[in-house]
């Protein structure tokens, strides 16, 4: 059946997307080796237990987010214009959501949840989260992700549609049904693969851009790193799976350390284009 075949063909679909015009990061990102990943996994494991949520007033939340934006916005705007790839005019919205999250939305909108401030121990940590979402906007990740899904749906529909047609030759009475099922299942599976195939790479790039923005803003990159450890403790994931849209906490920590080392070594220069 096409629905079952779609799962077994996920790796093949991911490979075909490379030929179909899908894209991930704008820049060449430093790679993390097994030793660096192992150190990060040990660090996260040593920090057992869920992170602590602070009690903060509405005024403190607003003040912290406003100050963080003011400190990083000049450097962020400069980095975005140098990249010349995405959206460089942003609107910031504070949400009452207490989850440990923020998001980049269409048309330059960046939403920061109240929970970010409740879990953060410094303004540098809050600035890192906001800079990460700016990184998504500056690298045009939202548009790229939509294009990847569209390409994936097309490739999947063609691939599994062809399998459905082939299967129908042995079952003429159900030929139309099998062909339609193949196209529909292929489009669904292909869109999913298109969405996840490059999203982890985009998350790493957004972290790299965040490190670059914080460095140019004079923020403390070591303090900012603490929030990645907090998120790793909150998620509980230790390894990045094939179907994950975000790198697991240890991998993200290790990639951050590599990005920070490169940013400092180049004195805040953008990496090469991919």
Which active-site residues does the annotation give?
Answer: 133, 207
d(CA 12, CA 233): 33
Q: 């401030």: which residue's tokens?
A: 117
Alpha-carbon separation of residue 208 from 89, 116, 122, 204 (angstroms): 20, 19, 20, 6
d(CA 185, CA 152): 12
> Tokens at residue 103, please?
């998001």
**Bridge partner residues of 104 (DSSP):** 110
d(CA 50, CA 208): 26
d(CA 248, CA 234): 11
Using CB atoms within 10 Å of the CB of residue 94, give its burial: 0 to 12 exposed, 13 to 18 middle, 19+ buried.
Answer: middle
């Amino acid at each position: 059946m096409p629905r079952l075949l779609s799962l077994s063909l996920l790796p093949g679909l991911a490979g075909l997307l490379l030929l179909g015009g899908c894209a991930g990061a704008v820049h060449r990102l430093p790679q993390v080796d097994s030793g660096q990943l192992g150190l990060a996994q040990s660090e996260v494991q040593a920090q057992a237990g869920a992170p602590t949520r602070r009690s903060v007033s509405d005024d403190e939340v607003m003040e912290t987010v406003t100050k963080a934006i003011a400190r990083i916005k000049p450097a962020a705007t400069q980095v975005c214009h140098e990249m010349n790839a995405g959206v460089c005019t942003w609107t910031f919205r504070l949400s009452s959501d207490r989850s440990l999250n923020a998001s980049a939305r269409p048309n330059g909108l960046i939403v920061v949840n109240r929970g970010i401030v409740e879990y953060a121990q410094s303004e540098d940590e809050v600035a890192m989260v906001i800079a990460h979402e700016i990184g998504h906007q500056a690298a045009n990740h939202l548009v790229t992700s939509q294009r990847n899904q569209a390409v994936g749906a097309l490739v999947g529909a063609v691939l599994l549609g062809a399998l459905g047609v082939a299967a129908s030759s042995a079952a003429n009475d159900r030929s139309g049904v099998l062909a339609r099922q193949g196209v529909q299942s292929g489009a669904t599976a292909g869109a999913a693969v298109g969405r996840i195939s490059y999203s982890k790479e985009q998350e790493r790039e957004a972290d790299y851009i965040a490190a670059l923005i914080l460095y140019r803003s004079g923020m403390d990159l070591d303090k900012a790193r603490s929030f990645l450890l907090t998120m790793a403790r909150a998620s509980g994931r230790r390894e990045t799976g094939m179907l994950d849209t975000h790198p697991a906490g240890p991998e993200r920590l290790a990639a951050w350390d590599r990005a920070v080392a490169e940013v400092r070594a180049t004195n805040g220069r953008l990496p090469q284009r991919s």
